Amino acid sequence: MLQACRGEHLRERFDQIARFALRPVSSANELARSLADTYRAIFSVHLDHYDAADVARMAPDLMRRMFELRVALRSRLDEWRHAGFMSRDVERALRDVFRAARYAGDMLGELSIGFEKHVDGDPMPRAFAGLE
């Protein structure tokens, strides 16, 4: 059985992923490789290797970090386009990283609420209800 790691190690992993994803590159091929490595790094984080209570406590901050990573990558699109780096491989790799970051945020959200399920017969909360 694996011993659970402290949650602070998970925060460090997320910081490393963000630094790696946003590092400077000098070509489209280098950018595509960097993004592919970022995708693999996100999916290599196994939340079950960490203390569940630590992860649940840190989940809002980690979710925010994944969102900020997506925003930071989006903000670099014009720079990469002007540099001529937006190849099909880069576009594909960017979509993969965006998808992985969204999935990571979803998993952290589920973990933070204890994977709570809707009970049949209970009213569903209305999303985007606005003022009633």
Per residue of the chain (132 residues), give pLDDT as tens: 344 556 668 888 899 999 989 999 999 999 999 999 999 999 899 888 888 888 889 999 999 999 999 999 999 999 999 999 999 999 999 999 999 999 999 989 988 887 777 667 777 666 666 565
pLDDT in the model for residue 2: 41
SS3 percent helix, strand, coil of the chain, rounded to 5, is 65, 0, 30
User: Among candidates 94, 105, 39, 36, which has minimal Cα distance to 68?
Assistant: 105
Helices 52-75, 7-21: crossing angle, 10 deg rounding: 10
Domain segments of the chain as ranges: 7-112
* C-alpha distance from residue 102 to each of 1, 4, 14, 15 (Å): 29, 24, 13, 16
Structure tokens at 128: 């985007």
User: Among candidates 54, 70, 44, 62, which has minimal Cα distance to 5?
Assistant: 54
Cut 0.85: pTM above it? no
Distance of alpha carbon 66 from alpha carbon 77, whole angstroms? 17
